[in-house]
Amino acid sequence: MLTVKEITTAKPRSKSYKLTDGKGLYLFITPKGSKHWRLDYSFHLKRKTISLGSYPMLSLSQARQQQAEIKDLIAQGTCPLEKRKQEKLLQKAEQQTFEDIAKQWFKHAKRFKVPKHLRNYCVMMLIYRRYYE
């Protein structure tokens, strides 16, 4: 188990290295001296790594709390990386205005010469919007 003293006194080396806390949580220290919390876990027999944040923005206790939350997600059968991607997609979709979507559509509409292709594209966009709303 890591202590705050070990973290604050950790100095950069010529190569990146890890200070492990246990259960997959570790502090990744780069040669430039930046410190990043990461968590190794396995999901469906595949090893994955998720970044939690940088030290000191994310303290040791906060990193351990996030580790526990991620382990709970895994126990429920949810991949934390996939969940994070979905949250970012939803956030991006919520931030888009009608103007943004219209501009995006207009860029694609210029290339459609066959009306059927334009109709198919519009249907796909409607399905996409319904799925993410």
Decide: pTM greater than 0.75: no
Lowest-pLDDT range, 20-24, 86-90, 127-131? 127-131
Kindly state the helix (H) or strand (E) to which residue 98 belongs, with its residue range: helix 98-109
pLDDT in tens, 23-78: 999 999 999 999 999 999 999 999 999 999 999 999 999 999 999 999 999 999 99
Domains and CATH numbers, the chain: 4-78 (3.30.160.390), 96-132 (no CATH)
Q: What are phi and psi of 78, to 5 degrees?
A: -110, 130
16 with 29: CB under 8 angstroms?
A: yes
Higher pLDDT, 90 or 25: 25
Evaluate if residue 117 carries a pLDDT over 80.
no
CB-count exposure of residue 112 (10 Å: 0-12, 13-18, 19+):
middle
Higher pLDDT, 44 or 125: 44
